[in-house]
Amino acid sequence: MKIHLKIWRQDNANTPGKMVAYDLDNLSPDMSFLEMLDYLNEQLAAKGERTVEFDHDCREGICGQCALIINGQAHGPEDHYTTCQTHLRTFKDGETIFVEPFRAKAFPVLRDLKVDRGSFDRIIQAGGYISAMTGMAPEANSIPIHHNISESAFDSAACIGCGACVATCKNSSAALFTSAKISHLVKLPQGEVERQERVIMMVNQHDDEGFGSCTHTGACAVACPQEVSLDNIARMNYEYNRALCEIDS
């Protein structure tokens, strides 16, 4: 099949970028979207032209490194897919596809389609952990956890930290990302002790990084490759208010 690509090219955060057109032929519908970019890059490299920079690693939807806006949608047209899982069979022969980096104030562009998501690390640093240092742990079965609670904690913990929630959100909010970690840890008995500080510190860090506020549009949950649910955001708000009240009293 044939595809017309319009790809965002930008040298670095301080220089302006622009869309550049590339035409590709002889593609197979079984190719993944990133394999199409490999194919383009091989052609550019053979001609000595600088290749298109994009992030990727596992190519199976779990590392969260791939991050493209495809035709205006984070990770492409299919709900709950990552970019690397998107295949050309989703597109029409001869289609024009626009490819851009994840855009948000807190995700500065490094080059072309690569962005810096260090802000996510700093949100986790603010409190997204249970402080059980190596050597401290009690016997694993000493605290039974109800099957459903454990499964529900998993649903929150499944987040791959790709940033599609931010890229999709009209406010560039990272509420889904932040709340998923808060919920994962607060659902488990092990996370109870640090409950208050965690939510306050993480929410404050979220705001300091320049992410916007959540207005419950819900676009993030549709884009999320792991189907992390909006319930997490409700839980975060509940936890945050509860922590403030408890600190006040």
Partner 1 sequence: MALDAKTPDGPLKDKWSNYKAKTKLVNPANRKKIDIIVVGAGLSGGGAAASLSEMGYNVKVFFFQDTARRSHSVAAQGGVNAAKNYRNDGDNVYRMFYDTVKGGDFRSRESNVHRMAECSVELIDHMVAQGVPFGREYSGYLSNRSFGGVLVSRTFYARGQTGQQLLLATYQAMMKQVKKGNLKQFNRHEMLDLVMIDGKARGIIARNLVTGEVERHAAHAVVLGTGGFGKIYYLSTLAMNSNGSATWRAHKKGAYFANPSWTQIHPTALPQAGDHQSKLTLMSESLRNDGRIWVPKRKDDDRLPGDIPAEDRDYYLERRYPAFGNLVPRDVASRAAKERMDAGFGVGSMKNAVYLDFKTAIARLGIDTIKERYGNLFTMYRKITGIDAYKEPMKISPAAHFSMGGLWVDYELQTTIPGLFAVGEANFADHGANRLGANSLLQASVDGNFVLPNTIPNYLSDEIRTGAISTDHPEFAKAEKDVIAQVQKLLDIKGTMPVDNIHRRLGKVMFAEVAMSRNEKGLIWAIEEIKSLKKEFWSNVAVPGDSNGPNSELEKAGRLADYLEIAQLMAKDALDRKESCGAHFREEYQTEDGEAVRNDEEFMYSAAWEWTDGSDWKLHKEELDFKDIKVAVRSYK
Residues of this chain that interact with ligand FES (CB under 6 A) are 56-59, 61-66, 82-84
Per rule CB under 8 A, is residue 160 in the interface with partner 1? yes
Minimum separation from the CB atom of position 159 to ligand FES (A): 12
Contact partner, 1, from ligand FES, partner 1, none, Cβ < 5-8 Å per class:
none
Footprint on residues 97-126 left by partner 1 (CB under 8 A)? 110-112, 114, 116-118, 120-121, 124-126
Q: Given candidates 87, 100, 165, 233, which one binds partner 1 under the rule CB under 8 A?
A: 87
**241 CB contacts (<8 Å, ≥6 apart)?**
none
Cβ(62)–Cβ(96) under 8 Å? no
Q: Pattern 11-30, binding to partner 1, x per CB under 8 A? A: xx--------------xx-x
The least CB distance from residue 58 to ligand FES, in Å, is 4
* Per-residue interface string for the shown chain with partner 1, residues 195-234, x marking contact by CB under 8 A: ----------------------------------------
